[in-house]
Structure 1
């Protein structure tokens, strides 16, 4: 054991022999080539996967654009059907107002008929006129009822079309969200 107080003898210089350095250099180069091959293969695989992901992204964007276009078309159809429904409701309301007016007219005619009955009791010849007036009022009522039924059927048809458009739009939105979720 060396005493710490004693000076160390000068260490001789260690030099690596040239043949050992050449062999070591060759070995290092061989190891580098062997380890670089798998790294290059992995890099090529990653580049290939990145290209596939870019292609998939482009396809998803195209699908999204198609879904958005379809959604816009459906929105336009919904707006058109909404306008048609509003017009149908307006027509139905006008028909109801007309029916109410007809009913008021009928009520007025009923009062007139009551007056006519009183007169008819006095005059048997007026019975034919009363019968004609009652028939005309009933025909007006039948016409108003038929018009109302036709409007109600048209409103039900338009409501069905509107519900179908809402369902299609919801399905498209869900599909779009699914596509966005896959990104």
Structure 2
């Protein structure tokens, strides 16, 4: 039986959506049926066997859409395998060491018995929405710190767990 996986994400400027698509690509390559959707559009989890939820980090908090999805669907999430990922550090730290989930994500992981979490570097570039984003870019601290090889390695681990006999 092919397992059906939902990869949902909360993003403001599209960077986390690109990470979610990279995760979905690895899961598809492993033979899984994958749907990728913005977290705010997820109204039901009935059609999926497993879920990956990703959220951008802003000022130490997971994106509102990811938080709301987990809160609204916590019972459904707890009934199936779930993984979380975060994106956000605007430096190389996520590629250099394992960064634990922020407090709110850690609490959500406990509530739904999530199997794992990874933090990936973020991206913030010219044209990003929001006053704080503009201030960060103007201060010279923006850039693209995503490590797609790390994303693929992590997603491969998720796929291995889902396809194991």
TM-score bucket (shorter structure): under 0.3
| Structure with greater contact order relative to length (CA < 8 Å, sep ≥ 6) | 1
TM-score (norm 2): 0.21
More helix by share: 1
Flag the structure with larger Rg. Answer: 1
More strand by share: 2
TM-score (norm 1): 0.19
